[in-house]
Amino acid sequence: RWMVQAGSFYVAENASMLREKLRQQSFPASLQSAVVDGRTVYRVQVGPHATRAEGERTQARLLREAGINGNIVPVYN
């Protein structure tokens, strides 16, 4: 499975705002948190996608419709 990462923030509120903006544009956006170098990082991701090709289509749509150049990342779970 694959996700398109639309943004990464240290401030949860900023990540939540982007997630809501993307949801309003009909993107299946979610928020994940992780601790990196002792700090919590909040990641806004779109998906999941069964294949990388699906992720690439969403990545192109995200750029076209929201002006965000997201990164395709694998889901490890």
pLDDT per residue over 33-77, tens digit each? 999 999 999 999 999 999 999 999 999 999 999 999 999 999 987
User: What are the structure tokens assigned to 18, written together?
Assistant: 């982007």
Give the model's pLDDT for residue 76. 87
Q: Provide the CATH number for the domain around residue 10.
A: 3.30.70.1070
Helices 12-24 + 52-66 axis angle, to 10: 90
Domain count across the chain: 1
Domain that holds residue 39: 2-74
pTM: 0.93
**DSSP H or E segment with residue 30:** strand 29-36
- Give the ranges where the chain is alpha helix by DSSP (H): 12-24, 52-66
